[in-house]
Amino acid sequence: MQNFYKKGRPAQTGIALAELLIIFAVIAILVSVILPQFSKIRENQTLKSGAGDVLSAINKARSQALASIDSSEYGVHFQSDGVIIFKGTVFSALAGDNEIINLTTPVTISNVTLLGVSGTSGDVYFDRLSGAPSKNGTITLSTSSLSKIITISATGVPSLN
């Protein structure tokens, strides 16, 4: 039996074109609001991960120096795209035992401000017996819209601000 209403016309079934357009408009609005938030969350996570990698490298170099591995000091060389853990008091790009830690794009090291006895540079090494750094100061990691600052204290302990 057919479903009839008003003047004997059958009831409409299915979705009208106007309803489809409204559904698509609502979905488009939701996507345009939600997608930028996911991008911001991903950027923040990438920055946190990069800061964790740099903190780990500093702690590893300090720990190796304190453990007096190979009776040597260990240090960290900072570059825009990553850090390099090196053995000794002077960084050499050609040394075979350098440990390279690359940062994930879009994270970069945008500023290194390390002050010490020998002035400023992008390197810090840790004393073999005390773990004290040759320089202390800050390293700034950033993306296009976010940044984090790592501070190396006079005792050599790094912290994230």
Q: Strands, DSSP E only, in the chain?
A: 4-5, 9-10, 74-79, 82-87, 99-102, 108-116, 119-120, 123-126, 135-142, 147-152, 158-160
CATH number, domain with residue 26: 3.55.40.10
Q: Does a structural domain hold residue 97?
A: yes
Rounded to two decimals, the pTM is: 0.78
Among the listed residues 160, 145, 134, the one whose alpha carbon sits nearest the alpha carbon of residue 76:
134
Which pLDDT belongs to residue 157? 94
Per-residue model confidence (pLDDT) at position 17: 86
**Residue 6 has what pLDDT?**
57
CA dist 73 and 71 (Å) reads 7
Residue 86 to residue 124: CA distance in whole angstroms: 10
Query: What is the pLDDT, as a whole number, of residue 161?
Result: 86
- The answer to whether residue 98 is domain-embedded is yes
CA angle 117-135-138, nearest 5°? 135
Answer for the pair 126, 134: CB distance below 8 angstroms, yes or no.
yes
Q: What is the DSSP string of 38-61?
A: HHHHHHHHHHHHHHHHHHHHHHHH
SS3 of residue 87 by DSSP: strand
Domain membership flag for residue 11? no
> What is the tally of structural domains in the chain?
1
Asked whether residue 4 is domain-assigned, the answer is no
Q: In tens digits, what is the pLDDT along the chain, a chain of 161 residues?
A: 555 555 656 666 677 888 889 999 999 999 888 888 888 899 999 999 999 999 999 999 999 999 999 999 999 999 999 999 999 999 999 999 999 999 999 999 999 999 875 554 679 999 998 999 999 999 999 999 999 999 999 999 999 98
**Residue 9 included in any domain:** no
The identity of residue 69, as a single letter, is I
Residue 58 lies in a domain: yes
- What tokens were used for 150? 């790592």
CA distance 7 to 34: 46
Give pLDDT, residue 35.
82
Q: What is the span of the domain harbouring residue 61?
A: 16-160
